[in-house]
Each structure stands twice: as structure tokens, then as C-alpha cells.
Amino acid sequence: MKPRTRWEAVCTVDDLVPESGIAVWTEEGPVAVFYLPHRLPALFAISHTDPFSGANVLARGITGDLKGEPVVASPLYKQHFSLRTGICLEDDTVRVKTYPVLLDGNQIRLEVRANQQTSIAA
């Protein structure tokens, strides 16, 4: 059975930086949200934690595409992570968590695990 989830509002459109990422704090911890205005979809969300260093830095990496795949490069050791799947292009045994993300009016929402105590309504 799929665990219960909820769509958490994490920031507004004004917080986003075009062609780059920002970090937000969620109940599941730090998440990086990227806004690539020249692509469809334009919003991506992956874990902010760089699995190679353990540091919370992925939102501060350079975005781009490699052979068409949207990616972010870790600012520490420069590995590339697919923004769609979270898979590391240099080492496909490493994968960061990805989050469904949507634009709701002016709000950016992420689908995160629902805490037992929290209501499913956001």
C-alpha cells in the first residue's frame, strides 16, 4: 500500500531562481527545488543532500542538460544527478530521492510522506 502523503507548500514563485535551485526545509528534511523556465515541465525537486559528501548543497549546483537529460552538478565533487530520476550519471548505483512538485496558484508544493499526526489537507 502506498504510504499516505500530502502536498506540502514549501515556497512561492518569487522565491525561485530561473535556471537554478533553492533549498527548502520539509518534514522529510532538506529538498532542492529547481526552476528551468526553458523546459517542460519547468519544476524539479530532489533531495538537497549530496550523497557523495553528505553535505546539503545540491540546490547550489549548476543546472543544465547532458544528452538532453536535465541535470544538476554537485558543487562539491561535480557528479551530475538527473533532475527527473535522481540517478547519478557517473555512478548509476547512486540515486538521490526525487519529489513530485507542482505549482498551485502562487505556491510551490511538494508531495511528502504524511506524518501520522498531521492532517492530509495542506
Residue ranges that bind other proteins, judged by CB under 8 A: 10-11, 15, 17-20, 22-25, 29-30, 36, 38-39, 49, 51-57, 60-68, 70-71, 73, 75-76, 78, 80
Name which of 11 and 87 has its Cβ closer to other proteins: 11
The residue among 19 and 104 lying less far from other proteins, judged by its C-beta, is 19
Least distance in angstroms from the C-beta of 1 to other proteins: 30
Q: How many CB atoms lie within 10 A of CB 38?
A: 8
DSSP for 8-50?
A: EEEEEGGG--BTEEEEEEETTEEEEEEE-TTSSS-EEEEESB-
